[in-house]
Structure 1
């Protein structure tokens, strides 16, 4: 009688951890465990928020009848976790934050199906866009004029490393160098190449925004590098040049958002990834159809697409 729950329990835990791992585009329970540890060392409220959001989103996905394999891969839970993390980040009252977190996570899960169909019909991935739509829906009622605090300060020789790691931590709403190191280590457990791309993206984005005049408070909080790290992870399968271009686009978008005082969150990452991957597809299509180059066999193209999805699940 008790065998079934014992068999399902490890699978449920693995699904939950994979949901956390998908925040940094890794279908890996060990990566998710490292991210959970990062939340715990940064702020226990974040760990509670992510657990609440992922569970609510996964339950919502089951009720909606979504593909069970995608649920087990964490593709239905990570947007719920992000939506709940946003609620606990911007709402100080725990009771209110919990209520908003559950509602937002469930809404993100229910929105995912039709929104994913719309995006895929245009050749676009989902990424964290459901979380963005849901969060932007309630955020103006909590913070009518949300802007990051501006401050000036002196950067010492050790601060760049701390700011870089904190930027990686901010991919999951955490805010400490130790949390960033844990998340980077978790990515490395899944793919050393992905970890290198995340580090490269965070470093480039942080450097460009610092040169553009970003303040020390944003630098120390890691607000300059997280979108760059996510873009580099998302387009890693397209090569280094594509990653560099995508990071550049994300920096430009984030600078525009800062100028207008808009809460961009991960929107620069999402839009930059869409733009970069679309440009790469158009370039590849142009080269394939050029007269001086023989078209590739359909089987080769299909194999490449399957390999790309297996190496880096498109969210």
Structure 2
């Protein structure tokens, strides 16, 4: 009887361990790039494929590539503002469908590369519009501007491919500035708020609140999606964490670096509290910290340097463009990350990942470890 009880206990513990392992394996399937889902969706209906492509495009804004992360982020945007969620979805679909209609590369479309610029354009149009929420006339420039991003992406891609550089958000930055320049603050149909330079003097000088500054660090991640509410921002951070813990850590670290840069330049308190000082630093940090470079202590320091460079460049560009009422958007992070990718130092070139092979940071790190292990075994096998 004792032996039977013992065997049953082992079987129960084994089944419990097996259940935990199955749950872990299922969770792991939802992390990273979810490449198995891409294979599974190949023979499914176009509407379902479009949904997955679009959700990948949502996550691509923050340099992730996971449809579940995209779904969480879209839910966060709808939570913060249903109107912004509608605009973002419409811009996303307009740019993705434009890519399908004009016959763009299927791998780029399915990877969401033609969706994120359109989404950003539509979100910023809604944020800067002074006509208020549910202003239906705004849907016209949202659709046209998002579709234009696809054409710009297609035109810039062959040019930047020569240097193995990503198109990134160059189309978004170009289109949103052109839109704001064309309409102007007093346009009768599409009025918008003029941007305020971060270096502008405070109307009423008040004492800086350390708690509010710390509060603004996570908000810097949400501001990548033009979201300034803490609850939705935490959901966005959770979505990034689902895709890659390394990416989430670098996003917060980059936002902290951007906030510190803002403090050192005595920018307006509102920029610090709302996270606007941190979002370019967050983008610059996550681009280098394991995404386009394999993660190591050297590239980690390189990512922090990229965050500070992005933040200071953003302050300078914001003060410059703010004199004519224009925002700097994410020009600083885009230019800083492009500059970092152009560096050819031997110590960094060894960690550079070709654009076509970029995956989640953990996958990049695992692939590099396997490659180095293979090279080591090859060298040992050739030793005499």
Normalising by the residue count of structure 1, what TM-score does the alignment of the two structures yield? 0.86
Separation in 1 of the partners of 2:100 and 2:126? 25
Aligned length: 295
Which of 61, 66, 80 is the equivalent residue of 1:28? 66
1:259-270 correspondence runs (5 A): 259-260=319-320, 261=322, 262-270=326-334
Please provide the CA RMSD for this pair.
2.6
Counterpart of 1:12?
A: 50
Which of 226, 230, 237 is the equivalent residue of 2:279? 226
Tell me if the contact between 2:261 and 2:312 (Cα under 8 Å) persists in the aligned partners.
no
Counterpart of 1:147?
A: 195
Counterpart of 2:231?
A: 178
Could you say what secondary structure the match of 1:223 adopts? coil
Separation in 2 of the partners of 1:272 and 1:233? 12
Separation in 2 of the partners of 1:259 and 1:306? 32
Tell me if the contact between 1:87 and 1:98 (Cα under 8 Å) persists in the aligned partners.
no
Tell me if the contact between 1:153 and 1:217 (Cα under 8 Å) persists in the aligned partners.
no
Could you say what secondary structure the match of 2:275 adopts? coil
Could you say what secondary structure the match of 1:158 adopts? helix
Separation in 2 of the partners of 1:68 and 1:143? 37
Which of 268, 288, 304 is the equivalent residue of 1:244? 304
The structure with the larger Rg is 2
Counterpart of 1:128?
A: 169
1:214 paired with 2:267, answer: yes
Could you say what secondary structure the match of 1:235 adopts? helix
1:42 to 1:155, Cα distance in 2 relative to 1, 3 A: farther
Counterpart of 1:292?
A: none
Tell me if the contact between 2:122 and 2:142 (Cα under 8 Å) persists in the aligned partners.
yes
1:254-293 correspondence runs (5 A): 254-260=314-320, 261=322, 262-279=326-343, 282-284=344-346
Counterpart of 1:97?
A: 138
1:189-200 correspondence runs (5 A): 189-200=242-253
Could you say what secondary structure the match of 2:61 adopts? helix
Tell me if the contact between 1:25 and 1:234 (Cα under 8 Å) persists in the aligned partners.
yes
List alignment gaps of at least 5 residues for structure 1.
289-295
Separation in 2 of the partners of 1:121 and 1:228? 27
Separation in 2 of the partners of 1:172 and 1:267? 15
Separation in 1 of the partners of 2:277 and 2:183? 24
1:45-194 correspondence runs (5 A): 45-93=83-131, 94-143=135-184, 146-148=194-196, 151=202, 152-194=205-247
Tell me which of the two structures has the higher relative contact order, counting C-alpha pairs closer than 8 angstroms and 6 or more residues apart: 1
